[in-house]
Amino acid sequence: MAEKGKRSAAIIVGEKLGREIRRGGRTNLIVDLDVPDLPERTLRVIGAHLENRADPKDRRLELEELLGKVRDTRGPIVLAGDMNTTGTKSMPRSTLGTVKDKFGSTEYAAQTALKYGTGIGIYQSIGTMAFKNIRFQGDPTAAGVKLLADNPERALFQSLERFRFDDGTAFDFRGVEDRTSPPMAGTLADSNQRAGKGFTTTFQFQRKLGPKGTYRLDWVFVKAYAQEPRDEKGPYRFAPHFAHTLRAVNYAFADRISDHNPISVDLPFGEPKPFTSAPPTR
């Protein structure tokens, strides 16, 4: 019954969900490119597609398994693709399964105790929902409130930031203002364009209601030569610069090309000179 209702609602907003129950249907592609301008002459590019019909924890485990396969890579890596960071559990489920999952969660228990213990009831539910929509809608990396309004996707980004390759390098999380366009500092801003709140979204349903129906699902993560994810004084050779979400390209025709907008990032082959004025514009 719960799954039937979800599918009916999806049709109303212009989407049609598949009927099959997937068990590991996603794939990841790893390609080594010959790039003479790099010291190692090789760039490893990983096209990732994490499962959407899964718990956020499962997506994190998928990513960790993928990273384990390339841990011994020496030289730059570009990891990019659809990470399906919706913050929700989208797998098909029964009403009984939904009830068991809800009542078994510590977040639900904490919220229920707060409601009945303080008498705020419906106001607490509305406040929690509003907080999650504002905080997480365009920023799956944001911190939540433990037990009351947790962000289930944040652990994926924390795992990615903690990860170290055998050569001691890490993914770039710096987000330095003068290496973004428009200038906007913040986590991952160098490789993923940020907006006023969170990140510029990359996915949109056929029909949306304000910000609802848009998500940040697609990401670019770059491992270059920096050994600390947020060391602003570290090397910037092949580090990500001036990320853009190219919405105008997707909507250049009467019918959009895809429900995902393309994204781009600049990767300098040499150590870029320090910026003495405004960063270049496109």
| Residue 2 domain-assigned (yes or no) | no
| Residue 218 domain-assigned (yes or no) | yes
Please count the structural domains in the chain. 1
* pLDDT value of position 101: 56
| Residue 271 domain-assigned (yes or no) | no
* pLDDT value of position 123: 45
| Residue 78 domain-assigned (yes or no) | yes
Write the CATH number for 64. Answer: 3.60.10.10
Please list the rounded mean pLDDT of every run of 10 residues in the chain (282 residues): 54 52 73 96 97 90 96 97 85 52 58 57 52 67 74 94 98 95 93 92 81 88 98 97 95 92 96 71 56
* pLDDT value of position 232: 95
Q: Which residues pair with 31 in a beta bridge?
A: 45
* pLDDT value of position 142: 86
| Residue 142 domain-assigned (yes or no) | no
| Residue 251 domain-assigned (yes or no) | yes
Side-chain half-sphere exposure of 222, counting CA atoms within 13 A: 27
- 8 sits in the region (left: phi over 0; alpha: psi -120 to 50; else beta) called alpha
Q: What range does the domain containing 228 cover?
A: 26-92+152-266
Q: How many whole angstroms separate alpha carbon 65 and alpha carbon 45?
A: 16
| Residue 71 domain-assigned (yes or no) | yes
